[in-house]
Amino acid sequence: MELILETLGLARSAELLALNPPGWGGNLLRGLANSLQIAFGAFGFGLVIGLFGASGKLYGGVVVRDLLAIYTTVIRAVPELVLILILYYVGTDLINQVSQAMGYGRVEISGVVAGIWVLGIVQGAYATEVLRGAIQAVPKGQIEAARAYGMPPTMIMRRVTIPAMMSFATPGLANLWLIATKDTALLAIVGFSELTLETRQAAASTRAYFTFFLAAGALYMMVTLFSGAIFARIEKWARRGQPSLRGTSK
């Protein structure tokens, strides 16, 4: 093993990427864990917002619909970086004001919570559109049938709409998940130590920029490819019982 690395001229890279100090591999993996944690949280938070947003857009009153239209348009037109800064400052300001009003001092907000909050709101706008499209694709008759049975709205959501729309929503949600994993890199700019920032620190202190940035790129690629495989399975599961689209489309 060491001989192979030596002949390829990668011995120094392997040394730098070793898991234990003085290698920086452990830091990178810790960064990756942080990134994934935030991506999971933001994706979940975004899904919840998206579910409410989509129901609001489809079944809500005129005011709710207009407000949601403003939300999705603004979020999708302003760069994530700017939104992250705005939401970060708004969030910390709000929490500090609340805690000061309640008699506590300033609160230190954990990077994970802040990251989930800002990315979740951004994801929510995209999820709203994805889920709205998916809900609209569910045949109306199925929902009407459920209503005719006297099911309450939440039960219709749980038993009919969500299972029926899953197959339409999975491709869009898979895209959103990939965007979530890549957007966590933006939190590096507000100083949260996720994978990209850890990489930059490691690279800056060892001057081995290519080694570390390529290693981080490989980690991101692994996450992307792995989630691609998972989502393909989820989509297959969501489509169970539906006629195959292959053969009809071409």
Considering the complex, state which of residue 27 and residue 184 has its C-beta at the smaller distance from other proteins.
184
Considering the complex, state which of residue 6 and residue 66 has its C-beta at the smaller distance from other proteins.
66
| Owner of token pair 């000061």 | 100
Interaction between residue 59 and other proteins (CB under 8 A) = no
Cis check for the bond before 22: say yes or no (omega within 30 of 0).
yes
Interaction between residue 89 and other proteins (CB under 8 A) = yes
CA atoms within 13 A on the CB side of 193: 9
* Candidate segments 38-46, 102-110, 154-162, 214-222, binder of other proteins by CB under 8 A: 214-222
Per-residue binding letters, 147-186, with other proteins (x by CB under 8 A): -------------------------------x---xxxxx
Spatial separation of the C-alpha atoms in residues 246 and 250, rounded to whole Å: 7
Interaction between residue 246 and other proteins (CB under 8 A) = no
Residue 13, classified by CB atoms within 10 Å of its CB into exposed (0-12), middle (13-18) or buried (19+), is middle
Beta carbon of residue 224, minimum distance to other proteins (angstroms, whole number): 4
**Contact yes or no for 123/184 (Cβ under 8 A):** no
Interaction between residue 74 and other proteins (CB under 8 A) = yes
Interaction between residue 217 and other proteins (CB under 8 A) = yes
Helix extents (H) in 138-194: 140-148, 153-156, 162-183
* Candidate segments 82-90, 103-111, 138-146, 156-164, binder of other proteins by CB under 8 A: 82-90
What's the residue count for the chain? 250
Spatial separation of the C-alpha atoms in residues 220 and 32, rounded to whole Å: 8
Task: Give the binding site for other proteins (CB under 8 A).
Answer: 62-63, 66-67, 74, 76-83, 85-86, 89, 178, 182-186, 188-189, 196, 199-200, 203-204, 207, 209-210, 213-214, 216-217, 220-221, 224-225
